[in-house]
Chains A and B, each alone.
Chain A
């Protein structure tokens, strides 16, 4: 085995989403050398995939892409894609050692012009995760149109090694000889910004996700509404018909002890309301009904946004959905308790969107050697001194930003990242003094 390459930075940031990126930028602007380790092929995390964001309705791409491009060209920031921090060891104060494993992209990013000829040449079609499985992509592919870096990658699990992409590539940037790389990273502090996972609705079989084609997740709807959307309009997956009576099922996987998640996901009410408003725009004739328990429109401008959606005609029904059944024509029957009327009722919709919740993404805690990184009751990273130093973890020198601490929206994530960078700065200064 060859010797691992040793790299040295001031701060290791785990996660290149909007929180990790913001923290990295703040630190880099104060002249600290930062390494961002990102497990995916692009920066921007979940946010870059969104359509527009509440309550301002800015397009997510308009906000994310410039941030992402600022991060990627900052002289003090190095980014490793397809990479994971496998082992993080605290050897002493201001002395962390991480083992970073990087999978090959099989494409030389610097030479790739994103001409997409490899995509055209590739004979393999697989499901496009970025488009939430709504369409397919090739095994040689550009992750998505606004990816950063915008460069091809080879999905080696599905690749047949036919070589068509290599032959088609005009710059010769495809390189199948690339191998896994292991690095030893020395850093003085660590920022964990590993984000969240979406709730898997297959865990609630009575909602029929995976069984009924016209039951989709809110992230799938998000993709259908985004500027870089797959169909250029809203279609129900079952038969490609434009829906005209869409239902939202809030609290799918949140506030639900039966799936082991008692907490509220903090963002689903607002993103559903936002999608409702956007649907009113793109399908002016469609009805949108949101089935909810409580509307949590608590942030700056949120309640006003909620009131506005009511004025626009989004319908709100206070009630919990019991189950969903499919009719022969693909329409869906929702059985629910109408709390206001105190009756169990049924309603027919031609498309159902499950507003899936925010779940912890806690694998990073397993990477910590010696002193382990403590999680809270819900699997998020425990905040050691939540009311005075919210980004402090149980390990001195390891800070946490964004949804790794719990569900939160984008403005709160940016603030949390600001806090993490501030506390990291103080910690780093203690090393100098």
Chain B
């Protein structure tokens, strides 16, 4: 057992010391057997204190160290690194959390918080006394990345990774790339169209030898761990041979008797079962939608390239990291939410944008010319009663931009914005200013008094208690009501579930730390980019996709990874293979092996995460978790329940 332990109790600049008497904690800990020195510090994480700790550990030859501060999520790595710099094996450093677990949790009880902090630190000291030096497990890392989703974020990450020298598998579930941005015309700031932007990115990606694109593809199986991840990719057939004759192809589409709503246009138009997304899509090859195809064979008769014999394929790929850029879904309003689907001239913002795309000189919806447009903001966002408490960030600017575009395109368009406080943050403010100057009318309601859309005779009326005119009730007759629908997480979260990526309160993928590690997840090797992490505009998605590419690349760039040695260890003498550990393991890290004629469990070191799920189910107690041994944990429990 160790005899020269150093303990540092952090004030956290008041975060701890406002509620926990850190000096008393120090005094109590100093009395513990084996504690050689105990100090308090204003900010344990500050550079100056880190230097002091390094000096202490090195000069006084400490054999163990404890910092009692914030959550290990924040600073375990910081202090492990301090130990290493001082020449102390980092597993002889133990972190005690007295901020989240004592001061913040018990800010109403200073005495109790202090008592609890003392016990938490004592438990850490008990553990460090019994800790051992450990060395990381080294594994080779594959310099390849699977980028999931080929919207703007995925395309951009793929290009960046390829240019850095990684092999990239770009896996798109749809048959066409470009995601949501392909569906938009003029984009704010650059005035480039969505299609132009996608074209640029697609061309760049396709010209790069390191990028392999799969469309109609999804990951169905996943095994291994960071550095060596094996993925099984299911690729659905397009039922089209490459290099089609353009003329015959158009004819094939023409003769198809099936008509279904066109998802690309958010169902305001229809398409055939054999279809393009839009002229000039990528890849430039139509696809047969087998869900709706009746196999009538008409297309086959006019176009030789139709090929119903194509089969689903499964590919196995090996990558070092996975970058998720799976995007978002537009919020789908509930039936009758602001008249959606019950009043005939109510559409969503994405539908409106496609409508403007298709209407050339007059804006016409369902045969009627549109003059007055009422935009209802925050539909599906900032919900008072619903689950979506968050702001969707992009919609204010997107709506104002769409309204200006419509006004410039058609004569006599009158825009009425029924908003809840316009959020054109940053430079986007100038757009709001421009629209106001163009004569757009803004009306604002509070959260608890949303506007009402109703049918009065054959007219659609929007009524609001408008706080901008001192709470007057105002009414607008609308030829078209546009529901400004926010961003929601993808309904189909199969990839998130498969990779076990955690979600935040808003149900988007969650980062480890918004400021310190904004594109990394708790699943080692899995990074997140773009709107999959939360609502973002294009520029913000680009920033996050480039940042995620950097992180994914730096994980595997060295060609070798050092993995944590705190994993399960089997005592082969005690193990009588029963398979219970294998059943309990969420990572499939345990397999059966033969040792001298005896069937025992063996741990795949690169796969085991050290979660400990296997330990309690072992009937012969043959599994120990390195770094969290029974002896260590029991000593911690003893310290926690002891009175001092």
Query: Which residues in A have some Cβ–Cβ distance to B below 8 Å?
Result: 26, 29-30, 53, 56, 58-59, 61-63, 65-69, 72-73, 114, 145-146, 148-150, 226-228, 255, 262-266, 294-304, 307, 318, 339-343, 376, 378, 383, 385-391, 406-408, 410-412, 414-419, 421-423, 425-426, 429
Contacts and interface: CB of A to CB of B under 8 A. Distances in A.
Interface in B466-522: 467-471, 504-506, 508, 514-516, 518-519
Interface in B12-37: 12-15
Contacts of B469: 342
Interface centre among A30, A343, A419 (most CB of B within 10 A): A419
A56 B164 contact: no
Interface centre among B47, B156, B189, B516 (most CB of A within 10 A): B47
B166 to A, nearest CB: 11
Contacts of B109: none
B106 interface: no
B470 A340 contact: yes
B423 A294 contact: yes
B443 interface: no
A145 B421 CA distance: 41
Contacts of B423: 294-298
B543 A300 contact: no
9 contacts: A61-B43, A66-B78, A146-B48, A227-B14, A300-B533, A415-B540, A415-B544, A418-B519, A422-B160
A300 B514 contact: yes
Contacts of B516: 63, 67, 414
Given A294-B422, A303-B391, A415-B540, A26 B554 contact: yes
Contacts of A297: 391, 423
Interface string B55-91: 0000000000000001000110010000001000000
A373 B554 CA distance: 30
A63 B192 CA distance: 38
A418 B520 CA distance: 12
Contacts of B74: 58, 62-63
Interface in B413-453: 421-430, 433
Nearest to B510: A300
A150 B45 contact: no
Contact of B546 (A145, A263, A412, A419): A419
B190 A296 contact: no
Interface of B: 11-15, 42-43, 45-48, 50, 70, 74-75, 78, 85, 152, 156, 160, 163-165, 187, 189-190, 192, 197, 200-201, 381-382, 389-391, 393, 421-430, 433, 467-471, 504-506, 508, 514-516, 518-519, 533-535, 538-540, 542-544, 546-551, 553-554, 557
B430 to A, nearest CB: 6
Contact of B43 (A58, A65, A304, A425): A65
A227 B12 contact: yes
Contacts of A426: 160, 163-164
B201 A388 contact: yes
Given A62-B43, A408-B426, A415-B519, A387 B393 contact: no
B546 A146 contact: no
A198 B299 CA distance: 65
Contact of B430 (A145, A262, A391, A415): A262
Contacts of A416: 543
A387 B190 contact: yes
B402 to A, nearest CB: 17
Given A340-B471, A386-B189, A53 B424 contact: no
B42 A418 contact: no
A303 B382 contact: yes
Nearest to B534: A300
Nearest to B54: A73
Q: Which 6 A-B pairs have the closest CB atoms?
A: A227-B13, A418-B547, A342-B470, A419-B546, A69-B47, A422-B546
A379 B483 CA distance: 36
B550 A149 contact: no
Contacts of B505: 301, 304
Contact of B13 (A61, A265, A266): A61
A285 B454 CA distance: 46
Contacts of B382: 303
Given A227-B15, A302-B391, A387-B192, A418 B543 contact: yes
Nearest to B517: A414
